[in-house]
Amino acid sequence: MNGLLIVDDEIQVQTFFSYLLRKKDIALSFAGNAAEVSAALEKSTYQAALVDLKLPDSNGLDILKTIKKRMPACRVIIMTGYSTVKSALEAIRLGAEDYIEKPFDDINELEALIDSLFTTPATQRQTDLIQLAEQTGFIIGTNPDMYNLLSLAYKIARKNITVLIEGETGCGKEVLARFLHEASMRSSQPFVGVNCGAFTETLLESELFGHEKGSFTGALHSRKGLFEAASKGTLFFDEIADASPAIQVKLLRVLETREFMRIGSEQIRHTDARIIAASHANLEQEVERGRFREDLLYRLNVVKLVVPPLRHRKEDIPHLVRHLIRRQHMNENIFAPETLSVMQEYNWPGNIRELANVVTRALALSDGESGPITPDYLPASIIKQQTVSFSQAIEQPAQKNPVPQLSLEEYVEEWKHELLAQWQNGHSIDLPAIMERIRELEKTIGTAFVGRALKESWGNQQKASRLLNISVRKLRYLLHEKGK
């Protein structure tokens, strides 16, 4: 017979479980404090346990640790009130299988959960998680922190709680939000994302709450906002720290009351959207700096998931590269092993987005060649070479197996990306290296324009200097400086 230990000091709860499970093939035992738990563990073996977080003489987390130490295979469910959801998540980190909120308002769900403890193997959840991650394009790799993060996300996905995701730019916050949506009961409903930094305050307000026809200049039609569009689904606020103080107040109100009004309307509307917010900035620090409302953070931060930066999980790089290649329908093994090694040496300030750009760029430059992609196809900043100057790019004859060279647009884009990633990273700032990159940008842009003017004037320095709005002397000086 299956053994189930109920750890709760309330007699009514014990009576409730005796009644609920009376017809099941389950041997029920009860314990109301730490000593009774120890005695119960001495007497019998349990396949599962339901543990209340709040006990008179001890903490449910300590009970969980005791059970897991004495009976590692025992599957533990934590029972918690809403105010202790954070501790329940800590319990999941410590090995609890799941948590349920008290009072139990869905008895069928509770019964199904208890049944599943005895019928569904624990490994089934793992398999489901991996399959769903694959379906949503979330590559797990082999880093244990990433697996634990996803496993926690999977467990909380079905709860209707607000989730805050923090992590550096490009590390996968939105992909994680999509995974949460897909793993939730709302997966058949819309997932709607909005980047709070991409709109002016007025536009963001209209985007979120909608507006009535004629409510402002240009409002030619009535329009639903995202709170309505995502009402039964998930509403994802990307870069929440960029929301203005006025928008923050309005968001707080909706989170508290679940009600809002379209701009230009007095009709109160209701939303059931599940809110997930993401930020590359640490919101606690933003609160300290007076840039983010503490009460809004409190509402958003029911559960916080922190996505580690790619440099802390470099072992995942080959998995991610193969996934990014597959996404472009190409042979996933086209990157030479030494190329992957070089990529694992680099720190990826722009995280997976930067990795995706580098992979796309290398594939484009190799232009369908069948041979393996060598480190030559990586940007200079990754192979730790000076970026090839634009003038060289113009003047040098094509070489056999050339180092891929950047157009000015690509160079500026990459430069901007690297600098912004440094700015947003906020951990280790290497100011001398940044200043060096600024000087490099100045030199590269200057050289590019000189090269273009010379090309357009067929090498005539007089004409070129006029095009550049500088004197011929200055042009000669610049050309001399660049070693021509």
Ligand X SMILES: Nc1ncnc2c1ncn2[C@@H]1O[C@H](COP(=O)(O)OP(=O)(O)OP(=O)(O)O)[C@@H](O)[C@H]1O
- Among residues 77 and 129, whose Cβ is nearest to ligand X? 129
Q: Would you tell me how many other CB atoms lie within 10 Å of the CB of residue 77?
A: 21
- Among residues 178 and 223, whose Cβ is nearest to ligand X? 178
State phi, psi for 263 to the nearest 5 degrees.
-65, 130
The closest residue (CB) to ligand X is 172
Distance of alpha carbon 22 from alpha carbon 26, whole angstroms:
8
Minimum CB separation of residue 201 from ligand X in Å reads: 20
- Among residues 78 and 196, whose Cβ is nearest to ligand X? 196
Query: Please, how many CA atoms are within 13 Å of residue 224, restricted to the half-sphere of its CB?
Result: 10
The DSSP secondary structure of 87-121, one letter per residue, reads: HHHHHHHTT--EEEESS---HHHHHHHHHHHHHS-
Distance of alpha carbon 311 from alpha carbon 290, whole angstroms:
30
Minimum CB separation of residue 351 from ligand X in Å reads: 7
Minimum CB separation of residue 478 from ligand X in Å reads: 38
Q: Running DSSP on this structure, what letter comes out for residue 292? A: S
Distance of alpha carbon 307 from alpha carbon 185, whole angstroms:
23
- Among residues 247 and 468, whose Cβ is nearest to ligand X? 247
Minimum CB separation of residue 141 from ligand X in Å reads: 8
State phi, psi for 194 to the nearest 5 degrees.
-140, 135
Nearest Cα to 5, choosing from 50, 44, 35?
A: 50
Distance of alpha carbon 24 from alpha carbon 147, whole angstroms:
35
Minimum CB separation of residue 72 from ligand X in Å reads: 29
- Among residues 238 and 418, whose Cβ is nearest to ligand X? 238
Nearest Cα to 341, choosing from 368, 371, 372, 363?
A: 372
Minimum CB separation of residue 219 from ligand X in Å reads: 29
The sign of the CA dihedral 182, 185, 190, 194 is negative
In order of 176, 205, 261, the CA distances from 208 in angstroms are: 22, 5, 10
Minimum CB separation of residue 320 from ligand X in Å reads: 6
Minimum CB separation of residue 260 from ligand X in Å reads: 25
Minimum CB separation of residue 361 from ligand X in Å reads: 14
- Among residues 101 and 238, whose Cβ is nearest to ligand X? 238
In order of 213, 262, 402, the CA distances from 224 in angstroms are: 11, 8, 53
Nearest Cα to 171, choosing from 350, 390, 383?
A: 350
Q: Running DSSP on this structure, what letter comes out for residue 5? A: E
- Among residues 139 and 229, whose Cβ is nearest to ligand X? 139
Residue pair 85/53 in contact (Cβ under 8 Å)? The answer is no
- Among residues 53 and 146, whose Cβ is nearest to ligand X? 146
State phi, psi for 78 to the nearest 5 degrees.
-95, 135
- Among residues 170 and 210, whose Cβ is nearest to ligand X? 170
Residues near ligand X (CB under 6 A) are 137-139, 167, 169-175, 238, 278, 280, 320, 323, 352-353, 356
- Among residues 143 and 405, whose Cβ is nearest to ligand X? 143
Minimum CB separation of residue 347 from ligand X in Å reads: 16
The sign of the CA dihedral 77, 82, 83, 85 is positive
- Among residues 65 and 353, whose Cβ is nearest to ligand X? 353
Minimum CB separation of residue 76 from ligand X in Å reads: 29
Query: Please, how many CA atoms are within 13 Å of residue 256, restricted to the half-sphere of its CB?
Result: 10
